């Protein structure tokens, strides 16, 4: 059975919250404050901004130039750690992306494809940015159990498709204030902006509702906000940032624009 057909058969599983039984769909997990989730013990990578993997020999700016997956087709495989129930949650995130791009972006089984995305339960929730290998496997980690959630999987798949965090936009200071005094000292780099010549905003306005936005308390050292909206009329978005369980309309439009979808 092809993954495309499999995704269609699973769609009905994901209309009531997209969570494993026992998880409260009202409590979308904080990707950046999951106990034990962001420790990286691998010797060959570093985690930038908490969940973006880079080779230890790669400059921070290099990932923004990572190529797209050709023709929007992403070959995938699961490692053996996931139960069928957990796979269904992750596949639900892939279904969401495919459906919202009218199958312009598709996830297929690895089969004989020379390069593929290996979804595994590693140390934390993280992904490389865009397609970083010409052959062999590219890892995406969804650690069991905390990372196996629809919204977390969506976030990491969008990284794998080539997207950065919304708050790293070069124009972000017009829309949010970052409270460095409340950030874990070792994580202040996660709030660095990209220069305008290194990131593409696709002519979209700043998106407080993006699945790629940090929560207001991401990497907080004291429980106080680390990032807050400052644009007039959007102050109430503070409690919603980074807590959504679906892609925003702008997330979808950016995906379509980037991959040349009709």
Active site residues: 156
Are the C-beta atoms of 249 and 256 separated by less than 8 Å?
Answer: no
The phi, psi pair for 95, rounded to 5°, reads -60, -45
* Residues contributing to the annotated binding site: 155, 159, 165
Binding site residues for Zn(2+), as ranges?
Answer: 155, 159, 165
DSSP string, 77-137: EE-TT--HHHHHHHHHHHHHHHHHTTTSSEEEE-TT-SEEEEEE--SSEEEESS---SSEE
Q: Which residue carries 């880079």 as its tokens?
A: 54
Query: How far is it, in rounded angstroms, from Cα 122 to Cα 49?
Result: 17
Backbone φ, ψ for residue 101 (5° rounding):
-110, 15
């Amino acid at each position: 059975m092809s993954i495309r057909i499999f995704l269609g058969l699973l769609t009905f599983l994901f209309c009531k919250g997209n969570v494993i039984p026992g998880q409260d769909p009202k409590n979308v997990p904080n990707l950046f404050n999951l106990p034990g989730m962001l420790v990286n013990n691998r010797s060959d990578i570093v985690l930038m901004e908490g969940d973006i993997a880079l080779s230890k020999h790669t400059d921070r700016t290099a990932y923004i130039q990572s190529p797209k997956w050709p023709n929007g087709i992403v070959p995938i495989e699961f490692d053996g750690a996931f139960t069928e129930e957990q796979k269904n949650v992750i596949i639900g995130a892939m279904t969401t992306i495919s459906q919202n791009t009218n199958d312009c972006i598709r996830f297929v089984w690895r089969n004989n494809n020379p390069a593929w995305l290996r979804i595994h339960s590693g140390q934390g929730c993280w992904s490389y940015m865009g397609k970083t290998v010409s052959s062999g496997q590219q890892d995406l980690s969804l650690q069991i159990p905390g990372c196996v959630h629809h919204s977390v999987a969506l976030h990491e798949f969008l990284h794998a498709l080539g997207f950065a965090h919304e708050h790293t936009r070069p124009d972000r200071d017009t829309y949010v204030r970052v409270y460095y005094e409340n950030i874990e000292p070792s994580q202040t780099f996660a709030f660095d902006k990209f220069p305008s010549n290194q990131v593409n905003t696709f002519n979209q306005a700043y998106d407080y509702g993006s699945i790629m936005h940090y929560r207001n308390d991401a990497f907080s050292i004291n429980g106080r906000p680390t990032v807050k909206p400052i644009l007039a009329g959007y102050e109430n978005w503070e409690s919603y940032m980074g807590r959504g369980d679906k892609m925003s309309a702008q997330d979808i439009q950016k995906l379509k624009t980037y991959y040349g979808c009709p």
